[in-house]
Structure formats: C-alpha cells, structure tokens
Amino acid sequence: YVDKYVEKSQVLGLADIFEVPHSAIRIGRMLGEGAFGQVHEATAINLRRMRGTTIVAVKQLKPNPKADEVAEFLAEIEMLKGVGTHNNVVCFLGCCTIKAPYLMIMEYVGKGNLLTYLRAVRQEAGKIKQRDANYTTCRPISPRANGSSSPKGQSVNYIELKASSQTIELPSENSNATTCCPRQPPSSLAETTYTIVEDDENFDYILDNKELHNFALQIANGMRFLEEQEITHRDLAARNVLIDSNKTLKISDFGLSRHGIYTNTRTRKLPLRWLSIEAIRDNVYSSKSDIWAYGVVLWEIGTLGASPYPTISNSELIPFLMAGNRLERPEICTPQVYTIMLQCWLEEPEERPTFDALYRVLSPKTTYVD
C-alpha cells in the first residue's frame, strides 16, 4: 500500500507539479502536535505559482511511523492534490513524497484554531465581567442618539465590551454597573450580542451575533465546496477550523477525509461527541455525518467553546441521542440558528440539510431595487 504511492510519486517524478525538494523547505517552530504527527511553521522557496519565499505550515509524521500511518499520510496528500482551492479551506501547496521525511505543505493560517479563539473571547468576557463592578456610568445602546439615557426597564439587545478602553456595555438590568457605548442597531436575528475588543497585536477578539452568523456561513461555504466534490471530512470540529488575521475561517485537518460514503473498518480515535448516530452506531460517514458535526460546531461557537455533553459519558451518548435528546440551545444563539442545529441533528441522515442549502439559508438576503 505504501509502495503504491511512493512508486507513483517516483514514476511521476518532477512531472508531479506538487512535488517540492526538501532543500526548498526550512522548518521553523512547532505549531502543534497530534496523535498523527506534527505541524511546523516553515519557509518554502519557489513553490508552485509562488516565486520567492513563502511562509507555510508543514505537516509531517512523528519519527518512526508505522507503515499504515505512512500509507494514510501519503493517501491524504494524494487526495489533497485533487481538492482545488477555496477561501474557506486550508490550501494544499505542495509535498515531499519521494523520500522520507514525507512533508505536506499547506497555507499558513496565522491565528490558530477556532476553539482556542472562542475560549479566548470567553476569557476576555469573564475578565471584563469581573471589572464591571467598578463601573458607575451608563449610557444607552443605539439605535438611540449618542449619550442619551436608556429608558427605564427597556431591555438592551446587545452589549459591547471594550477592554482596552475600559468601556463596557451590558444589558440594562445591569445598568447601575456599566458603561455603554452606542453602536448600530441589532440585526433582526440578534437577541444578545457580545462584542469584546482586546488589543492583541491589532487582532481583536470579537464575538457578536453578526460574527457568529458570519462564522457559520464561512464554515458552511468551505464544507459545501468539499460536499460538491463528495469529500467527507469526518473530523469537523472547532479545533479543526483555523482563523487568520482577517477573521477568515479555513477548514483544516483532512487527516480522516475520504471520498464519498465511507465505512470505518479500523479502530482509531474518534471524535465521538461530534459524530452522528449512524457514524457511531454503524461506522457510516458521509456529508450527512459532516452536517451533524457542523451542528455541533455551531453549538461550540454559540457557547464560546464549551465541550459538548459534559454530563454524559461516552457509553451513555448513543442511548441519550437515540432517546431524542440533543444539545441545548446556547444562550446567545437565536431560535433561527438553533433550528438549523436541530435539523443537522435529525436522526435520519437524508432529512438533514445539505451544506449548500445551509449556505443559502445563512447567506445575507439579496435585496432588489425596483
């Protein structure tokens, strides 16, 4: 199996447009490590269609990999060669597969994974809540004019937490203890909007309903690109979505990806709490099981990176789901988005939406002028 790919690469030799010599790669600091291997930041010289030096991410297997791990890694690279590019999918740039150490060269996505981002947002919100006891002034949240005061008893739809300038908006029930900044009116979808602004080399940790919606849309967009090509991700989770400095989300880690419907025949670590009923019970994976995982990712976003089913043990999960139970609606999540989650978690795979349909539901509505 391994030889098949090595032989293929050798036959293709330089004709393989993705093949890069090891000498063109300078490995830098380690970005992360998983069961499979390691990801490093690196510089690459004269990649395909990229003259000069490019900062990239390089994935490689751990030292002394087993033959089947090598085979899977090379198979993953072969698959990536045919995927094409999309703004919401980490771009495959090249590989070293003629001789070990085998390397997979990918677009570098500079701000880490979405789960870490969400938890950082949560932490900032926590810090600000701690501090808010010290605030004494309160101004209303727009759409009213700047500086006018909030009518008594009126609930506020969203809050803005501005750590760097020590400005905080909180719902009016907390009005005695808050400072509020006017900003644009809430969207019709928004129930509660949190905006957290914290300087981190000019990168803001912000999460509001607009951003939640935008994240949901971007992930659906990337997944619809994979769905179109009948590629099943099989490990879609916030930890496998990367974020760049422009807040563009990129779906990453195709370590488990396969074409079409795939039945797992080997024992391996599974992302149990992201798996659909049929994936856990029957080992059947498809775009419809990715849709289930997408619902869990929406829940991760809505809870700012909580862990799913914290009170349910692994062995209890299937009976729990089979009894019709599902993750609860996160507080900051609108009924519309929770309805999408519940559709993603329908027991019958065929009844779940497609990524294309979700992308269209989540897309901003086009308005036509007469």
Is 107 one of the binding residues for ligand ACK (CB under 6 A)? Answer: yes
**3-state secondary structure (DSSP) of residue 134:** coil
Q: Which residues contact 313 (CB under 8 A, 6 or more apart)?
A: none
Of residues 3, 8, 10, 34, which one binds ligand ACK by CB under 6 A? 34
- C-beta of 36: minimal distance to ligand ACK in Å? 9
Any alpha helices (H) in 13-66, and if so which ranges? none
* Strands ordered across the beta sheet of 50-61: 25-33, 37-47, 50-61, 103-107, 92-96
210 appears as a binding residue in the annotation: no
Distance CA 34, CA 254 (A): 13
- C-beta of 366: minimal distance to ligand ACK in Å? 33
Distance CA 206, CA 296 (A): 21
Determine the interface stretch with ligand ACK among 29-37, 135-143, 189-197, 225-233 (rule: CB under 6 A): 29-37
Is 31 one of the binding residues for ligand ACK (CB under 6 A)? Answer: yes
CA distances from 269 to 36, 280, 322, 352 (A): 11, 12, 22, 25
Is 116 one of the binding residues for ligand ACK (CB under 6 A)? Answer: yes
Closer CB to ligand ACK, 57 or 304, in the complex: 57
Distance CA 334, CA 192 (A): 8
CA distances from 36 to 63, 68, 254, 255, 288 (A): 10, 11, 12, 8, 25
Determine the interface stretch with ligand ACK among 20-28, 102-110, 147-155, 271-279 (rule: CB under 6 A): 102-110
Is 39 one of the binding residues for ligand ACK (CB under 6 A)? Answer: yes
Contact set for ligand ACK, span 328-367 (CB under 6 A): none
Dihedral, CA atoms, 153, 154, 159, 160, nearest 10 degrees?
-90
Of residues 88, 97, 113, 209, which one binds ligand ACK by CB under 6 A? 113
Is 109 one of the binding residues for ligand ACK (CB under 6 A)? Answer: yes
Of residues 21, 32, 82, 319, which one binds ligand ACK by CB under 6 A? 32
Closer CB to ligand ACK, 90 or 219, in the complex: 90
CA distances from 291 to 39, 266, 269, 295, 331 (A): 27, 23, 20, 6, 22
Is 103 one of the binding residues for ligand ACK (CB under 6 A)? Answer: no
Closer CB to ligand ACK, 109 or 291, in the complex: 109
Distance CA 33, CA 252 (A): 14
Determine the interface stretch with ligand ACK among 27-35, 60-68, 279-287, 322-330 (rule: CB under 6 A): 27-35
- C-beta of 114: minimal distance to ligand ACK in Å? 9
Of residues 20, 57, 141, 249, which one binds ligand ACK by CB under 6 A? 57
Query: Could you list the active site residues?
Result: 235
Determine the interface stretch with ligand ACK among 103-111, 219-227, 288-296, 320-328 (rule: CB under 6 A): 103-111
Is 212 one of the binding residues for ligand ACK (CB under 6 A)? Answer: no
Contact set for ligand ACK, span 230-249 (CB under 6 A): 242
Distance CA 34, CA 18 (A): 24
* E runs forming strands in 173-282: 193-197, 231-232, 241-243, 249-251, 258-259, 262-263
Find the radius of gyration of the CA atoms of the chain.
23
Could you list the residues that contact ligand ACK (CB under 6 A)? 31-32, 34, 39, 57, 90, 106-109, 112-113, 116, 242, 252
**Residue positions in the annotated binding site for ATP?**
59
**Residue positions in the annotated binding site?**
59
